[in-house]
Amino acid sequence: MHTTLAAQLAQLELGHIHIARIEIAATDVLPDPGAVEQTVAAIWSDLFALFPGTALEEDVEELAWGLVNLFHRAASKRSGQLDRATDEIRCLLASADGSEVHTGELEKQIDRARGAEAAMVGLESFREAAALLYTRETGSSWRPAGSSRFNHGEGLTSAVVDGRAFLKARAESRRRAAMPEGTPIVFGGGRQTFATTDEAKAYGDAIWATLDKVYDRVPDMVLVHGGDTKGADGLAASWAEQRKVSQIAFSLDRRLGARAGFRRNEQMLALDPRYVVAFSGNGVLERLVIDAKAKRIAVVDRRGPGGTNPKQAARAAAAV
């Protein structure tokens, strides 16, 4: 006689079976950094070698951005898991009763948090390796859409002694990621047009050479700029990407209208930078230079033709 699947399963008496997700043991072991860079570079090279001369060639930059974003989103997901585990630890600490069950649950949440933190740092290392290749491929620094690009891997303490120590370490790692340690160097410059490709290249070379000189003087520099991906800011950001210098980008607050650029100047100068590096720009850039000098901040002035010192350019013109 034909019976339904439900009836057959009922006859097997499977009520004692419990279905649950298998917990993978938490670990803070990460892939070798050198192997990460080599593997990502190999994937990148093989993938983007397929596109030249095909209908997908115009989509290369978008696809490259998406590949980096793949690791960024995975790292963000792990960061969310870490936040939830941190909240659980905080609640357990607040309700501590000294029982063995409570202690066991606290240890379990700490292990989860440690595993999520290690995974987040590991995924960020993949993203950073891919972001560097993106810069080399497109000439632009990679930035996520609508969010910040934090890097928690630099000097992060991986050991967690207990719940309170973990919460303190977590707060410190967040602070370091959001505000990198180092000496702020403010960079300012606008978008330029050039008659020839050689002139444009010379201008880009001048930005890189200037920043290299500043970097020699300030090896712990943090580059602070306006976040324009297509102007002088974009060239400076690409330099920082290649030199592995931390960046802080102050995007315009469009709600402020015409006041937005001046407000950004105030925010950048509030970091008390060692230098302001200034290339040609608009009136907002000129005000940045004036305000920096008023605060006795040294200005590396490159607002002359082709990114040169304007005083030297004026003397050279007078000598002709």
For 88-133, write each residue's pLDDT tens digit: 888 888 887 777 777 888 888 888 888 888 999 999 999 999 999 9
Which conformational region is residue 7 in: left (phi greater than 0), alpha (psi within -120 to 50 degrees), or beta?
alpha
Question: How many Å separate Cα 287 from the centre of its chain?
Answer: 28
- Residue 56: pLDDT over 70: yes
pTM above 0.75, yes or no: no
DSSP states along 57-107: GGGHHHHHHHHHHHHHHHHHHHHHHHHHHHHHHHHHHHT----HHHHHHHH
Least confident of 160-164, 229-233, 306-310: 160-164
- Residue 19: pLDDT over 90: no
CB atoms under 10 Å from CB of 33, counted, come to: 13
Determine the Cα–Cα distance for residues 72 and 261; give it in Å rounded to an integer. Answer: 29
Mean pLDDT of 31-39: 92
Helix (H, G, I), strand (E, B) or coil at 158: coil
Instruction: Check residue 156 and give its pLDDT.
Output: 34
Please write the tens of the pLDDT for every residue from 186-214.
999 999 888 898 999 999 999 999 999 99
